[in-house]
Amino acid sequence: MKNPTSKSTSKKGILKMAGIILGAVFGSIVALCLIALLIVWSWSPGEAEPYYNNGEVQTGSISEIIRMEIGGVEQGMIIRGKDANNPVLLFLHGGPGNPEYVIAKQYNIGLEDYFTVCWWDQRGSGMSYSSTLDPESVTTEQMVSDTVDITNYLRDRFGKDRIYLMGHSWGSFLGTNTIYQYPELFEAYIGIGQISNGLESEKLGYESMMSTAKKSGDTKSIKKLQKHKIANTDAITKEYLMLRSGIMNKQGNGVFHAPYSMFNDVLMPLLQFREYTLSDKYGYMAGALFAFKCPANDAGFTTNLMEAITEVDIPVYIFHGVYDRQVSYELSEQYFDMLEAPEKKFYSFENSAHSPFMEEPQRFIQIIRDEILAIEK
């Protein structure tokens, strides 16, 4: 005859042991999360590192984080340069919603050797993110207004009549609109991965992805692309853009031509970025998603600059990677050919996709130094 008390005791013992194991596992997870949080917190002082010369802060250099109200919203920027008397350059990042100094810093591009550079986090992104910001307020017109406000701040602070404007990806759309309306504020415009006709560029990019996937036998990508065929503006959704980013990066035609890892090339640089606080790092991630809701994001796809802006009154320099399909290299070249400007030059980067200033930084900075600034060696 079986002993019911013994069976009951056995079940209780098993449950107790399971509880102990689960508790230990949960406790370990919590402990690891706390350790990870402490590590990231230690990487997040929100301070700009000075330039040093023989152990002393370099005389005349500048390295600081500015937070100020622009257009009714607190916005942040990092200003860095080895000589505050150098020309001033305002960098317009892409996205919108993707501040780029977080990533660009690790490539030691060298812009700060020749400029006082303002790396501005645009409205709704990074240091300028706010959960109370209405996405409908983030329009192209508002972003141009913000750009002008920051430009005037930089002009006044550093005593410059004009500054240089550099725009990458969506920032090139913003930059082109700004110099068209306010040419008197700028010495020259430098476009990287220059937008021209957003919708046509997406169609060409889709065809390129599909063709490359078919040639390589990538059936998974083919099936995913077939569900998101680009036929009209309504098809350019957040889901498609995220799919497009993954496939293009895999094919070497996206952000970089070389293999690209979201963990190694974006997440880790963000977590280790000392200029940001923990709140700023949250704003970086939240702002990237927030941007999809903004009219300014849609304008980059629906506005055809080949029709809207065909003449500007300042010098224009375009840098574009030949492998770029995220923003069409071919359309950028066509736009350059038709654009009227006092001076213009187009530079092709043979080993780059969408980010030649990070992919080929030595050639990039050499052109800036020797041709645009014409600095004597």
Please pick, among 93, 168, 257, 354, the residue that the annotation labels catalytic: 354
194 contacts 173 by C-beta, under 8 angstroms: no
Parallel, antiparallel, or unpaired for β 163-168 and 88-92? parallel
- Active-site choice (63, 168, 324, 355): 324
Q: Which of 169, 201, 332, 352 is catalytic?
A: 169
Active-site residue, 354 included: yes
Tokens of 93: 């990042």
What is the SS3 assignment for 228-261? CCCCCHHHCCHHHHHHHHHHHHHHCCCCCCCCCC
Prior bond to 96 cis, omega within 30? Answer: yes
The amino acid at 225: L
Q: How long is the chain?
A: 377
Q: Among this protein's residues, is 83 annotated catalytic?
A: no
Question: β-pairing, 116-120 with 88-92?
Answer: parallel
Q: What burial letters (b/e) apply to 116-151, b meaning 16+ CB within 10 Å?
A: bbbbbbbbbbbbbbeeebeeeebbbebbbbbbbebb
| Separation between Cα atoms, residue 19 and residue 302, nearest integer Å | 57
Rounded to whole angstroms, the Cα distance separating 315 from 344 reads 6
CA distance 330 to 204: 10
Q: Which residues are catalytic?
A: 169, 324, 354
